[in-house]
Amino acid sequence: MGALGTLDFSIIAVYLAGTIALGIYFARRKQTSPEGYFLAGRDLTWPFIGLSLFATNISTEHFVGLAADGHRLGLVAGGWEWMASLCLIMLACVFAPQYLRHKVFTIPEFFEKRYGSAMRMSLTVYFL
């Protein structure tokens, strides 16, 4: 393995330019409301929503951390993921109806409606 060459840098530049162009294109499209942004205008079907949730949940921790735990601890490392599925069911059955009833799209927005704007700001600062 050697240093990056001209072709490598060209591929990276084209990829970055394409990503920026795509972002600008979609940013210029009309955003009618926060609901339109956060919920994609309520136009997505369940497979896309499910894939989005799955992709949001996957991170480096899964590819590196859980693989290392699987090697080190064995099958017991998968217990974490099985418990996560129970938490997702609880989220769908208990918390999601609360969000839908209050017509909120983010957790800080829910806290603002329930406890006031000071709580929303505190939660936002905490998350950052």
14 pLDDT band, cuts 50/70/90, is: very high
In 63-109, which ranges are E strands?
Answer: none
pLDDT at residue 20, rounded to an integer: 95
pLDDT tens, position by position, 21-79: 998 887 787 666 777 776 777 777 878 877 877 787 777 777 788 888 889 998 888 88
Q: Let me know: does 108 contact 120? Beta carbons within 8 Å.
A: yes
pLDDT at residue 50, rounded to an integer: 77
**How buried is 127 (Cβ within 10 angstroms: 0-12 exposed, 13-18 middle, 19+ buried)?**
exposed
Q: Output the pTM of the full model.
A: 0.48
| Domain coordinates in residue numbering, the chain | 1-30, 42-127
Instruction: Quote the CA–CA distance of 68 and 99 in Å, as a whole number.
Output: 36
- Show the tokens assigned to 21: 């162009």
Q: Let me know: does 77 contact 69? Beta carbons within 8 Å.
A: yes
Instruction: Quote the CA–CA distance of 21 and 78 in Å, as a whole number.
Output: 40
Give residues with Cβ within 8 angstroms of 34, minimum separation 6: 105
pLDDT greater at residue 82 or residue 61: 82
pLDDT at residue 7, rounded to an integer: 95
